[in-house]
Amino acid sequence: MSGYQFNVILLSITKSIEFVIEDTKLHEEVINELLTVLTFNIVSKNNFVIRRNSNILQRNLERIVNKYKSALPKIQQLPSYFKLLNDNEFLVVFLEKNSSEQEVQLLLNYLYCKKKGLNFLKFQRNWNSQKFAFNNAYTYKAQDGKIKIPIGEKDKSKRKCRFCFKSKPQVSFKKIAHAIPESLGNKTIINYDECDSCNEKYGLTIEREFSNYFSLFRVLNKLKGKNGVPKLKGKDFELFVKDNKIHLEYNQDKLVSKSLDDNIFFLETYDKIVKQNIYRALCKFAISSIESRFLPHFRNTISWIDRDFDAIKLPKIAILNDSYFYDSQPKIGLFLRKNQDKTIPFCVAELGFGSLIFVFIVPRFLLDKELPFISAKEYKTYWNFFKHFSTHANWRFIDFSDTNESKVNFTLNLKGKSPPKNN
């Protein structure tokens, strides 16, 4: 059975993973034992079964892992995953990755109701009602990066830069401007309406800061930029990919603390960033991806991106790190409000690269004409309206308003009990 590959997808509110066993002499034996433990060999016509995390399940997995870990080290990921889940938490075991987004969302809603003790049918009726209201409120524009679709004016002689508002002959359009940086893996989402001067300026400033701030994730997700997967070099350490495996060379003195687990490391880089510039970069990606007809709504946003002024306070950015959503090609989606309901933002963007998803408001800085969504009440109203995001657990809500320069450092847990963190 050369070339055989077995996929198991574990979907839960806490975290989801895809586990793959590739062709191996042991594959049939291992798969049969895993199926017995994970599914009781009872699988619906939709190729999934709902299980509950339990001590018995974890002990049975440990038994299988101890039996096969020498020949199949990757199998050790499974017990680590179940230890991340809450006791008695429900999860879905898929045997194939062929379910639609709607089916996955329906199952996530079911798991959410199980966790919160809610009536699923009542919740789903309310969900459908809110979905109807959401679809009436927003139009959705997405660039998934699967095929090359340039954004903007194809004719170079007619192009006008959407950031400096200049056209030829004041500026040139000779370079390929990536709407999302190539360093994040983007090869296909191209912006025709960005001049060479702005492309160079942003590439050396806010886009570079963004790439540096998430440099650890770029290596761990093996995202290929212009020169392949980058190396992360810092003070007394180097993190790199070789033969498709991640290697860490470090000075033993760089452990966070001897009292902590020996697999936890503090990684200090040479890079510095301004947090507000991370938000600027995200909004720059959004503006680069939007249809030209919407640009007049974002004049103040573009001035802020260009650092003409600093924002005193910005809405928090929601960030999710979940390997289930992994994609080597970045994708971006824009929700644009089509009614006058100012209790929800005019524009919300969703960016995904690697295993990271960012959901953020694109601020327009209209002062008294639009809510800033800074207060807890305003933000909660907005976030609850975006139900398809808010039913996922483990979102982190981070304030990127700071205008002070800070160092880029990371805490890395090699045992995988918690995701890497920016310090």
In angstroms, the CA 285 to CA 189 distance is 10
Q: Where are the beta strands (DSSP E) in 174-326?
A: 232-234, 237-242, 245-250, 264-274, 317-321
pLDDT confidence tier of residue 244, bands split at 50, 70 and 90: confident
Asked whether residue 196 is assigned to any structural domain, the reply reads yes
Q: Work out the average pLDDT over 243-256.
A: 73
**Residues 312 and 380 both lie in one domain:** yes
pLDDT digits (tens, 9 = 90+) for 68-80: 888 888 888 888 8
Residue span of the structural domain in which 143 resides: 136-423
The CA distance from 80 to 313, in Å, is 39
Residues 151 and 43 both lie in one domain: no
- Single out the residue in 99, 117, 148 at which a domain terminates: 99
Evaluate if residue 28 carries a pLDDT over 70.
yes
Position 173, amino acid: F
Residues 223 and 371 in one domain: yes
Share of the chain above pLDDT 90, in %: 53
pLDDT, one tens digit per residue, over 402-415 is 999 999 999 887 66
2-27: pLDDT as tens digits: 455 677 889 898 888 888 877 666 67
Give Cα 269 distance to the centre of its chain.
Answer: 22
Residue 335 in any domain: the answer is yes
Of 99, 119, 146, the domain-final residue: 99
Q: Which structure tokens are listed for 80? A: 């680590």
Tell me, what's the pLDDT at 70?
A: 85
Kindly tell me if the per-residue pLDDT of 215 is higher than 90: yes
What is the total count of domains within the chain?
2
- Where is average pLDDT lowest: 106-115, 172-181, 248-257? 248-257
184 plus 67 within the same structural domain: no
Average pLDDT, stretch 125-140?
A: 90
Residue 111 forms part of a structural domain: no
Per the model's pLDDT, the better-predicted residue between 345 and 394 turns out to be 345
- Alpha-carbon gap, residue 349 to 361, rounded angstroms: 6
- Flag the least confident range among 100-109, 245-254, 269-278: 245-254
Q: Given a cut of 60, is residue 58 above it in pLDDT?
A: yes
Judge if 212 and 313 occupy the same domain: yes
Q: Answer yes or no: do 268 and 375 share one domain.
A: yes
Q: Among the three residues 99, 127, 157, which one is the final residue of a domain in this structure?
A: 99
- Say yes or no: 85 and 181 in one domain: no
- Identify whether residues 46 and 189 lie together within a single domain: no
- What pTM did the predictor assign? 0.81
pLDDT of residue 17: 84
So what's the pLDDT on residue 105? 87
Same domain, 221 and 300: yes
Residues 74 and 155 in one domain: no
Residue holding tokens 């942003």? 202
Co-location of 90 and 154 in the same domain: no
State the average pLDDT over residues 188-192.
95
Q: Say if CB 223 and CB 353 are below 8 A apart.
A: yes
pLDDT score at 77: 84
| 268 SS3 class | strand
Q: Give the residue among 143, 222, 210, 213 at the shortest CA–CA distance from 181.
A: 210
Is residue 127 very low, low, confident or very high in pLDDT (cuts 50, 70, 90)? confident
Exposure of 152 in the CB half-sphere (CA atoms within 13 A): 25
Q: Work out the average pLDDT over 252-258.
A: 49
Asked whether residue 123 is assigned to any structural domain, the reply reads no
Asked if residue 107 belongs to a domain, the reply is no
71 with 26: CB under 8 angstroms?
yes
Select from 400, 323, 313 the least CA-distant residue to 357.
323
- Tell me whether residue 13 is in a domain: yes
Q: How confident is the model at residue 363 (pLDDT cuts 50, 70, 90)?
A: very high
Does 110 fall in a domain? no
DSSP character at residue 386: -
Is 326 part of a structural domain of the chain? yes
* Average pLDDT of the chain, as a whole number: 88
Task: Summarize the confidence of residues 97-115 as an average pLDDT.
Answer: 84
| Residue 255 binned pLDDT confidence (cut-offs 50, 70, 90) | very low
Per-residue pLDDT, 303: 97
Residue 190 banded pLDDT, cuts 50, 70, 90: very high
Q: What percentage of the chain reaches a pLDDT higher than 70?
A: 91
- The pLDDT of residue 8 is 83
Question: What's residue 168's pLDDT?
Answer: 94
- 188 and 260 fall within a common domain: yes
